[in-house]
Chain A
Amino acid sequence: MSYSGVWTVSEKNGKELAGISFELLASARPLADKLKTELCTVLIGNGNDDLCARELIERGADRIYVVSHEALSHYIVENYSNVLGRLINSYKPEIVIAGATSLGCTLMPHVAVKVGAGLTADCTSLDIEENTRLLLQVRPAIGGNIMARIKTPARRPQMATVRPKTFRPLPRDEKRKGHIVNEEFDTGTIDPRIQRKCFRKLDEAGPELGDANIVVAGGAGLKRADNFGMIRELARLLGGAVGASRNSVDRGWISYPHQVGLSGKTVTPELYIAVGISGAIQHLAGMKTAEHIIAINIDEDAAIFKVSDFGIVGDLFEILPLLNEALREELGNV
């Protein structure tokens, strides 16, 4: 049997679909159209499957493979890998795409080894090469200073993870039709070696950093932990999440889950505001692909300005209070 079809791996947050699921369909729809093949998505989890499957169809999928079982309520890489590996072996898709999330970045390599496939990490653009029909996978390299285009010439499927927030979900189309295929789950494939004991949610106000449309980040220029208060306030006013440079995390001003950059998170929000961040290459690698970037820094030669759309050269301790005040006024917020 030859390999055909473009697949995405949908993700759920509990019973709801995660936004990345729709971004993946948006990234893969043109690929399936160019190859004149079906766009399928795999939905692994437990519960609310029909509603989720229906929405996936309305967002661009032609076929949904649903694997639903209590043992799949929470992501355990081995169990999900057994499911996805079996589906790939039986249906032989030529392309499989997942999000570059904590799920996708562990599930995809795990499966790629099992099925002997090639895998490219954290792509920011995907296309089909006309004459060869190969998947062209483009990803930032060396901290985003160059882009590498990668192909998987011989092995199948061609697998890739896609950087979250890079593709905009397709609008819902209630008239779209698709097939929902319920796949059996073999409880014999549950791996007994891993047990999930509990989960502790990050206790943060506002949206989660990787998922936020707006990120306000602070760096060494803030000088003291307390001054992150101004950053939090700006983030609150804009409905955004709080990010941080490595420097400020290493000084203990803010916790590691806020760190943006090579040894922290990569974010692609609509707006990134960098306050008192000089813009070390590692930091830029984690935020350079944001749609709009604003920087506030006292040093006009700071590297952060080179990637910014709008910059204020000045003292953040003067500017931030004024900005927060202006926004409170603008938004009628006290």
Chain B
Amino acid sequence: MQIIVLIKQVPETSNVKMDEETGTMVRDGVESIINPLDLYAIEAAVQLKDRYGGEVTVLSMGPPSADRALREAMAMGCDRAVLICGREFAGSDTWSTANALSRAIQKTGYYDLILAGERATDGDTGQVGPEVASFLDVPLAAYISRIDGIEDGKITVERLIEDGYETLMVTLPAVLTVVKELNYPRLPTLRGKKRAKSTEIPVWGPHSLDLDPGETGLKGSPTRVDKIFIPKVTRETELVPATDEESAGEAVRKLVRFLKEKNLLQ
């Protein structure tokens, strides 16, 4: 079985600081990591490989430094990695990114399954996975929280939507986007790290993907970021201390009054 995993390198945002003057992210000292939701996709791919045999190829589009994310994925058990990289890709929106990824997937050859995190924590759109499915014209199953198994070229999965879990049976090849309920990602092994370190990771640019200049980066992107601004802070916080029984009681009374004033009690 040939499995492809799509990953993205994102800034580690758990301790992100904002410059309150300029509204930009303070990037100094911010580490880059594999998009947390992609780890569940990697884990699922490696588990499926262990169960059904085959190979896992991990793909990422990004700057040269994304090479590190790919090696980390290999250290977790992926067999091959390809970096899609080139100055021409700068400014790609989700449409253009999905277009390039789809070309790269086709170039890898035969595939049974494509896995990706449900969204990336930086762009936060969740569009690339569905777009790849559409470009490749293969079925999409999004928000996968459980994989039951593969039989007769069909995979049975459960997806988490607003009000419950839906079970689908999907003909392979297919694209699955996954949520964190799916599994517990493993840590890279020492052996994996060694192998990842010594592996050559090919870099594919627009030419090797047969993409015209008009198809990549800003030119190939239907959408444009026109303006960035800081959201207006409209909240004035009323802070009430509750240090002992008496002040706690008073704080709770104030809170209930707040709820009543805002018509939030029914």
Contacts and interface: CB of A to CB of B under 8 A. Distances in A.
B165 A199 contact: yes
6 contacts: A109-B131, A238-B264, A256-B181, A307-B235, A309-B235, A309-B236
Interface of A: 13, 77-78, 81, 101-102, 105-106, 108-114, 116-122, 136-137, 140-155, 191-202, 208-211, 214, 238-239, 255-257, 259, 262-263, 270-271, 280-282, 285, 292-294, 300, 305-315, 318-319, 322-323, 326-327, 330-331
Interface residues of B, number: 86
Contact of A262 (B121, B165, B228, B252): B121
B243 interface: yes
Contact of B167 (A77, A143, A197, A314): A197
A256 B180 contact: yes
Given A102-B142, A282-B13, A294-B258, A109 B127 contact: yes
Interface string B83-122: 0000000000111001000000000000000000000011
Given A151-B223, A202-B163, A202-B165, A113 B98 contact: yes
A13 B18 CA distance: 40
A151 B253 CA distance: 47
Given A191-B139, A319-B251, A322-B249, A118 B256 contact: no
B255 interface: yes
Given A109-B98, A109-B127, A155-B222, 4 more contacts: A109-B130, A122-B124, A208-B163, A312-B241
B47 interface: no
A331 B131 CA distance: 49
B161 interface: yes
A282 B170 contact: no
A142 to B, nearest CB: 6
A110 B133 contact: yes
Contacts of A292: 262, 264
A263 B121 contact: yes
Output the residue of A106, A309, A327 with the most chain B CB within 10 A: A106
Contact of B223 (A113, A118, A306, A323): A118
B199 interface: no
B238 interface: yes
A195 B249 CA distance: 56
B127 A263 contact: no
Contact of B238 (A77, A310, A330): A310
A263 B236 contact: no
Given A77-B130, A149-B226, A309-B235, A195 B258 contact: no
- For the complex of A and B, the 8 pairs showing the least CB-CB separation, nearest first, are A118-B222, A314-B242, A121-B125, A113-B134, A193-B171, A109-B130, A155-B222, A109-B127
A147 B127 contact: no
A310 B240 CA distance: 8
Interface in B17-40: 18, 23-25, 36-37
B252 A322 contact: yes
A193 B229 CA distance: 44
B38 to A, nearest CB: 11
A113 B143 CA distance: 20
Nearest to A111: B134
Contacts of A150: 223-226
Given A144-B231, A197-B168, A292-B262, A308 B36 contact: no
A89 to B, nearest CB: 15
Contacts of A263: 36-37, 121, 180
A318 B231 contact: no
Nearest to A239: B266
Nearest to A249: B180
Q: Which of B36, B126, B127, B180 has most A Cβ within 10 Å?
A: B127
A76 B264 CA distance: 37
Nearest to B171: A193
B240 A119 contact: no
A120 B123 CA distance: 11
Nearest to A199: B166
B198 interface: no
B142 A77 contact: yes
